Copies of this chain bind each other. A is one copy, B any other.
Amino acid sequence: MAEQQRRRPGETREKLMNAALALVGKGRHFASLGIREITRQAGVVPTSFYRHFRSVDDLGLQLVDELGLVLRRMMREARANVLQADKLIEESVGIFVAHAQANRSFFLFMAQGLAGESRAVQEGIRSEMRFFASELANDLRRLRLADHLSDADLDLTCDLVVRTVAFSLTDLLSVSEDDDYQVGQVRKRTTRFLQMVFVGAAHWNSSSA
């Protein structure tokens, strides 16, 4: 009936995922989204949803996959841009904040998913964080910045770093997107948190023996 223009494959699928993200970005919680709501936002008929996803949770899982890509992009940029070791933390936090701002909805979704209602989404996000932490550990090892730490202690440190940053996400996402002052505050605070963690790591074995 309504004219059906030729569609690039996967287009509606993208539209649906973006619609879910958009709603999350608008302040809704992912766990409270419904199929009809998402399709309405996407400008698509409800039935189409089932062509691509079995349920809202399923869509969530696929969002986690995309989130993985976003995180990898961020990591790549961080690796390319960290020039001097002494500004390493500051610059990394800066890159993180910039990405979080540029992909606000995505990171909002991530923060929500950590205590979300779908066990699978939760585990997916957790697993992305583990991956991130292990990559960080590799980098630190390669740069020989933590030679005095055992592998286990280095992992511990990186896990703590990732957690701290992840928690900062909730700070960052709860201030207005363009309140530069507040955003700066979060950045400074996060930087100091990480500095403290690294000071702890630097003195770890000598103090905990």
Given A32-B31, A166-B167, A122:B160 Cβ within 8 A: no
Q: Which residue of B lies closest to A160 (CB)?
A: B193
What's the minimum C-beta distance from A162 to chain B, rounded to whole angstroms?
10
Docked complex Cα distance between A82 and B160 (Å): 25
Contact present for A207 and B197 (CB under 8 Å): no
A174 close to B (CB within 8 Å): yes
User: Chain B residue with minimal CB distance to A114?
Assistant: B170
Chain A 167-209 near chain B by CB (<8 Å), digits 1 or 0: 1001001100000000000000100110111111111100110
Q: How many copies does the complex hold?
A: 2
Q: How far is the CA of A76 from the CA of B198 in the complex (A)?
A: 32
**Is A39 positioned at the interface, with any CB of B under 8 Å from its CB?**
no
CB distance from A89 to the nearest CB of B (A): 11
Is the C-beta of A116 less than 8 angstroms from some C-beta in chain B? yes
Query: Is A75 in contact with chain B by the CB < 8 A criterion?
Result: no
